Amino acid sequence: MNKEAPAGDVGFLLQSGFVTRAMFGLLGSDGWRLAVSPDGLAFKDAISHR
């Protein structure tokens, strides 16, 4: 995988019932992050390295 621009995204989504509960990768920056959500709408960083 390769992202075209620093502000782009490349990552993996983990879903339950088609609702994203966690995602990890280079999301919105060149720093790696794992973000989680209780509802699939609001995400918080669980782990990040920027």
Write out pLDDT tens, residues 24-44.
999 988 999 999 999 999 999
pLDDT confidence of residue 10? 95
Question: Which pTM value belongs to this model?
Answer: 0.80
- Mean pLDDT, the chain, integer: 94
DSSP 19: E
For residue 4, pLDDT over 90 is answered with no
| Percentage, residues of the chain above pLDDT 70 | 100
Predicted confidence band of residue 6 (pLDDT cuts 50, 70, 90) = confident
> Over the Cα atoms of the chain, what is R_g?
11
- 6-21 as b/e: b if 16+ CB within 10 A: eeeeebeeeeeeeebb
